[in-house]
Amino acid sequence: MKISKLRIAAATVALGLGVGAAYTFGAGSAAANGASAAAGDHDGSSRHHRLPDPYEFLPKVPTFTASSTTARKGHPLPLAQWSGIFGVPGGKDISPQLSWRGFPKQTKSFVVSMYDPEAPTQAGFFHWIVEDIPATTSSLPENAGALDSATLPAGAIQLEGDAGADRYIGAAPSAGSGIHDYYITITALDEPTTGLGATTSGALLNFEIDSHTIARASLVFPTMAPAK
């Protein structure tokens, strides 16, 4: 399914962005953004309205090891993983490389998602969701979340997410909104397929897979836009 311009426009408004949004990226600005985010990381500064881990209130399951060669856990997402579609100058909407290991032998499939619980909505914002990733898969290359991706494993399905686009949509925290914790999560399931289609919402998908989740691993990337 192609990107819905109407859904993108609505999401852009909801996230507090606009055409030529209040981003001032230039030479060295990505590094400055990283330093600002790291300085305010989880200490209440830089207007970081820290919300609980969105998985904290779900049934407890084992974890496993996840990593990325593109983005460093606990640090801001690189600019290439920000959203040009949402008007961020220099943003390329390129999904990061991901790898995982140590998941249960009973795993039959994975779901990968990127979620911002601090987006200015009542339910956060799903930037990326991939379901039905085969259990034989233990990594995704950079930009696997491209529209009509040719590098996702056979059978994997990209959901439309909250932007109405079946692809990776990068970070786009509005200027002055403080730090947003972007959770990239790999969920191990005891079923080979969810049986849900590409138009399924992130909330419904997570509701449906709750009883089939046997392990989960998250990478958190605290990221903020420059001040206005």
Ranking 45-54, 176-185, 188-197 by mean pLDDT, the lowest is 45-54
Model pLDDT, residue 121? 87
**Which of the residue ranges 46-60, 87-101, 213-227 would you say has the lowest mean pLDDT?**
46-60
pLDDT in tens, 33-69: 443 444 334 333 344 556 789 999 899 999 999 999 9
Among the listed residues 67, 69, 11, the one whose alpha carbon sits nearest the alpha carbon of residue 184: 67
- Asked if 104 and 121 touch (Cβ cutoff 8 Å), the reply is no
Q: What is the CATH number of the domain that holds 200?
A: 3.90.280.10
Taking residues 70-80, report their average pLDDT: 97
Cβ pair 226, 175 in contact under 8 A: yes
Domain range for 62 is 5-224
- What percent of the chain is modeled with pLDDT above 90? 69
CA-based max dimension of the chain: 49
Which is more confident, 33 or 171? 171
pLDDT above 70 as % of the chain: 77
- Tell me what the pLDDT averaged over the chain comes to: 84
pLDDT in tens, 127-154: 999 999 999 999 999 999 999 999 999 9
DSSP code per residue over 151-173:
SSPTT-EE--TTTT-SS---B-P
pLDDT beyond 70 at 15? no
Q: Domain tally for the chain? A: 1
- Residue 175: what pLDDT? 83
